[in-house]
Structure 1
Amino acid sequence: MSSLPSPTIVTLTMNPALDITTEVDIVRPTDKLRCAAARYDPGGGGINVARIAHVLGASVSAVFPAGGHTGHLLTRLVHDAGVPLQQIEIAESTRESFTIDERSTGKQYRFVLPGPRLKFTDQAQCLEKLRGAGTSAQFVVASGSLPPGVPPDWYQRVADVCRSMGALLILDTSGGGLTHIKNGVFVLKTSLRELRECVGRELAMEAEQLAAAHELVDREIAQAVVVSLGSQGALLATPLHSQRFSAVPVRTVSGVGAGDAMVAAIVVGLSRSWTLTESVRFGIAAGAAMLLTPGTAACTREDVERFFGIVPAAEDVDAVHT
């Protein structure tokens, strides 16, 4: 279970999860709910990104802390998926995330636990593993929430490490991990909710959303910001451009991991020396393909490439920003 000698992409997942997915006819309070057989997938933002990047043929390695029985199973599932990995052994057990699909309505209920507390020594080992795995990498993807015990400026520390290694950082996070980043991000991917949290405004209109994204670029937090809008597609803000991307309509099986698949395809596109615009289109395709899979099962390369062929070209948008 070791990494490739020189992966092009390294992912960091500080709060991985063993994803458990099941289904039931109706979700009712108090009653015992007789569920179908459970599906187990390795989860957490960076791990999901690594799995999809591997499916798309990229050279990738995953770095993450894991402990206890759930951590052992998570690590085995990542290994079985063919993804080279660097695990940091921790004392507390890796968290579980639980998803219930309600057959009668098609609704999905997701229960996400906070995760184990990481000691200072655990955190130091994570950075050390990242330095070792990412020495020759072109891109580092840091994705997901921060577990208890990890300071909110953690991803700024990661950005500083990436700068020292000469790797470009793609960041996808929320909460304090997002609001405490000050500089050093190459591409910042946010949802609309996360962008609102970051700038502290409602952002009801597209022009406001693009202005907020450009604000982060102008403050030199990131060189580019991708705002995922779900079924409405995505927006891209760079110092010179504002672009709108349409989504590919699909019948959703599960929305879990679609954003991670988008990030994976974006970084894979960039690793192929594609433009950021084409890479975001590839990300739209991967996000759509991920919607077809149960739980956090990986999408197929064939589906991603099929959708990529029908993703509309990006539209240039006039954006007002300061």
Structure 2
Amino acid sequence: MTNIATLTLNPTLDVAYEVERLYHTRKMRTKSEFYSPGGGGINVARVFVRLGGNARSYYLAGGATGDALDGLLDLHQLVRNRIPIEGHTRVASAVLDLETGKEYRFTPPGPTIKPAEWQACLDQLEHVQCKFLVLSGSLPPGMPGDFYGRVVALMRRRGIPVVLDSSGPGLNGGLGEGGVFLVKPSIGELRQFTGLGLTDPDEIADAAMAIVQSGQAAHVAVTMGHDGALLANSAGQYFLPAAPIEARSAVGAGDSFLSAMLFAITIGWDLSEAFRFGIAAGAAAVIGPGHDLARPSDIQRLYQQVAQIP
């Protein structure tokens, strides 16, 4: 059986450039360019496979950019199930200004999904075989707000635990169904979900525990960037500070965190240690340039540091 399967409803063809300096109007020659398959679930699968696991990627894709996404997934040797759509897969861009060290990211909303297309997605998931199904990323236009909730209900009938990482309607719809195994909101996503400011650590812990106590999710991992992360479940709350690193990018940290934590869970690690492994992977993702995700050697090195944190 495949260790995990991931679903990416709004994938991206990620393009990254480096320029000496950003200017308006004039043409800027890039120093380098990078192309990667992107989107939450695809990123999770990429890191999971790097760590030695097996992952199958389900994703919606269409048009010439969808074909290009297929090619990039094949280059990364990812097992894939494309669900065809009429609209063109979106292209997301990131530009690094070398003079200032600042990164600029451009992400379009993505194609509008027709009812027959998202129904075809549900039909394919009727046959998924995995230990965990990861629902990661935003809902594209046209997708019903409760779509992730429908998938959670479908997986419950099939006895497959669901891991959820989304925002806005995707997060609301998935948790609204209840019974999610693990949900990983960022602090910003948790604030949006609760409608609260959540500036105090106790408030954050209470909000995470409320999700557990309501039965919406068994485990809640809240990522807070340089402020660390919080794990909440029926055993209580567990806070860890961020790994001591200098971040160069913010791209892929959450996906790398989730993938590594889930990988550790699938190989039988204790949940608190899997949480530490996730923190190490999130840090590993941001110490490098924004066109890549966490690398196993960096994850292992940083995990040795995180493991020493009391």
Tell me the TM-score range normalised by the shorter chain.
Answer: over 0.9
Q: Is the 8 A contact 2:8 2:137 kept in 1?
A: yes
Aligned partner letter, 2:11: P
Structure 1 unmatched ranges of 5 or more: 1-5, 316-322
Q: Identify which of 53, 68, 73 aligns with 2:68.
A: 73
Determine the structure 2 residue equivalent to 1:48. Answer: 43
Determine the structure 1 residue equivalent to 2:121. Answer: 126
Determine the structure 2 residue equivalent to 1:295. Answer: 290
Q: Percent identity?
A: 39
Deviation at residue 122 of structure 1 after TM alignment: 1.2
Residues 1:208 and 2:203 are matched in the alignment: yes
**In the superposition, relative to structure 1, how do residues 314 and 184 fare at CA in structure 2: closer, same or farther (>3 Å)?**
farther
Deviation at residue 253 of structure 1 after TM alignment: 3.2
Aligned ranges 1:227-238 → 2 under 5 Å: 227-238=222-233
Determine the structure 1 residue equivalent to 2:255. Answer: 260
Deviation at residue 105 of structure 1 after TM alignment: 1.3
Determine the structure 2 residue equivalent to 1:243. Answer: 238
Structure 2 unmatched ranges of 5 or more: none
Deviation at residue 276 of structure 1 after TM alignment: 1.6
TM norm structure 2: 0.95
Residues 1:160 and 2:153 are matched in the alignment: yes
**What SS is found at the alignment partner of 1:64?**
strand
For residues 299 and 236 of structure 1, the distance between their equivalents in structure 2, rounded to whole angstroms, comes to 21
Aligned partner letter, 2:99: S
Per-residue displacement from partner, 1:81-124 (whole Å, max 9, x unpaired)? Answer: 12111111111110011111111111111111000111111111
Aligned ranges 1:134-153 → 2 under 5 Å: 134-135=128-129, 137-153=130-146
Residues 1:276 and 2:310 are matched in the alignment: no
Deviation at residue 314 of structure 1 after TM alignment: 6.6
The runs of 4+ residues in structure 1 deviating greater than 6 Å are none
For residues 304 and 107 of structure 2, the distance between their equivalents in structure 1, rounded to whole angstroms, comes to 35
For residues 152 and 61 of structure 2, the distance between their equivalents in structure 1, rounded to whole angstroms, comes to 22
Deviation at residue 266 of structure 1 after TM alignment: 1.1
For residues 296 and 123 of structure 1, the distance between their equivalents in structure 2, rounded to whole angstroms, comes to 29
Q: Is the 8 A contact 2:6 2:57 kept in 1?
A: yes
RMSD: 1.5
Determine the structure 2 residue equivalent to 1:319. Answer: none
**What SS is found at the alignment partner of 1:39?**
strand
For residues 219 and 199 of structure 1, the distance between their equivalents in structure 2, rounded to whole angstroms, comes to 13
Aligned ranges 1:26-41 → 2 under 5 Å: 26-41=21-36
For residues 292 and 225 of structure 1, the distance between their equivalents in structure 2, rounded to whole angstroms, comes to 25
Aligned partner letter, 2:40: G
Deviation at residue 25 of structure 1 after TM alignment: 2.6
Q: How many residues align?
A: 308
Determine the structure 2 residue equivalent to 1:320. Answer: none
Residues 1:173 and 2:169 are matched in the alignment: no
TM norm structure 1: 0.92
Q: Identify which of 195, 199, 210 aligns with 2:194.
A: 199
Determine the structure 2 residue equivalent to 1:92. Answer: 87
Per-residue displacement from partner, 1:115-164 (whole Å, max 9, x unpaired)? Answer: 011111111121222232x23x1101100000011011111011111111
**What SS is found at the alignment partner of 2:5?**
strand
Aligned partner letter, 1:229: M
Q: Is the 8 A contact 2:34 2:291 kept in 1?
A: no
Per-residue displacement from partner, 1:218-245 (whole Å, max 9, x unpaired)? Answer: 1111111100011121001112211111
For residues 212 and 100 of structure 2, the distance between their equivalents in structure 1, rounded to whole angstroms, comes to 41
Determine the structure 2 residue equivalent to 1:3. Answer: none
Which moves more between the two structures, 291-300 or 82-91? 291-300
Q: Is the 8 A contact 1:162 1:168 kept in 2?
A: yes
Deviation at residue 55 of structure 1 after TM alignment: 0.3
Aligned ranges 1:216-235 → 2 under 5 Å: 216-235=211-230
For residues 98 and 270 of structure 1, the distance between their equivalents in structure 2, rounded to whole angstroms, comes to 33
